[in-house]
Amino acid sequence: EVKEPFKVSLTVNGIELYLSTFNEGLEPGESTVISFDWVWEWIGEFQIKATVDTENAIEESNEENNTYEITVNNNFTAPDLTITKVYLSKEEIYEGDSAMIYIEVSNTGKTDASGFTVKLYIGENVYESGVIALGPGKKMNVTYYYTFPLAGVYTFTAEVDPWNAVHESDEENNIKTFEIIVKKRPLPDLVPSYLKVYYTIVTGEVTQMYLDKADVTVKNFGYDSPQDKYIELAFFLDDPDNIIATYIYHGYLKSGEQFSYTHNFNKWPISYGQHTLGVIVDYRDIIPESNEKNNINRVVFPE
């Protein structure tokens, strides 16, 4: 008869999950059942071993039969969360652009997954979604809005279920790292591609010249539109510092587009002789351009 208390343990793959003290005693030939509650949180093959009288508190006639071991294969179905695709709302990203980042999350497992989030790591910045639920075989997009301040290569890391809230059949496919190339923004190139001057010569006791008008065409030879909503022209006579008139074109000028303008000088009197009329586009240098050296056009008159 066993009257003294003894301990019973349960180990799974060598890890002790339960240890209990039995105090009720056992008569010769008597048996009892000790129950352990355990949630199967892993998938695969397990070695389960029960040991009675773990501390050898009871002197027995046979000390070699105090353990019993079985192998169990746990193949229950589980969800499997993974990141299947990452893409942006724009095909090309330039410095200063903002874009939506779409992270496609899929549950390729056999059961529902719920209570998880998705994190996005960009340098030292970390963004986290709200709590998500996703059925088996389903997918969804998690979106983040991001502004790319500078040109270069940006490395992003997306992670689904970062807190391990969901037990999955595969815990090794929850992270995806990707790169986004941000280009330098193309600049406009504003050029006064055409300039024609109209003038009048009046002869008499004193020969006098008058400046009548000038036709000018400005074209954007660059690959982007000016960010400002206006383009300023300045007309000069003989010297670029001698500005005699200005004009403001309101509106954007896209790549390859042009506008024409005629300025009326209203018979502006000038001395008789050869002069130079010039026009300067963006003469205050407000608009960044790919080429700042072609903003002037000149016409000498009379020829």
Calculate mean pLDDT across residues 60-76: 85
Residue 248 pLDDT grade (very low, low, confident, very high; cuts 50, 70, 90)? very high
Is residue 97 within 8 Å of residue 147, measured between CB atoms?
A: yes
pLDDT tier at 132 (50, 70, 90 boundaries)?
Answer: very high
Has residue 160 got a pLDDT over 70?
A: yes
Report the pLDDT averaged over residues 276-283. 97
Domains and CATH numbers, the chain: 6-74 (2.60.40.10), 81-183 (2.60.40.10), 190-301 (2.60.40.10)
Residue pair 218/258 in contact (Cβ under 8 Å)? The answer is yes
Q: Which has the closest alpha carbon to 176: 201, 154, 159?
A: 159
Question: Tell me: the pLDDT tens digits for 8-41?
Answer: 888 988 888 878 888 888 888 888 888 877 766 6
Res 44 pLDDT > 80: no
- Give me the pLDDT at residue 251, please: 84
For residues 216-241, give the mean pLDDT: 92
Model pLDDT, residue 42: 65
Q: Are 300 and 274 in contact (CB under 8 A)?
A: yes
Calculate Rg over the CA atoms of the chain: 42
Taking alpha carbons only, the member of 81, 120, 86, 78 closest to residue 103 is: 86
Phi-psi region of 251 (alpha: psi -120 to 50; beta: other; left: phi over 0): left
43 pLDDT more than 90 = no
* Average pLDDT value over all residues in the chain: 92
In this predicted structure, what is the pLDDT of residue 147?
96
pLDDT in the model for residue 40: 65
With 0.85 as the threshold, say if the pTM is over it.
no
Per-residue pLDDT at 224: 84
Q: What percent helix, strand, coil does the chain show, rounded to 5?
A: 0, 55, 45
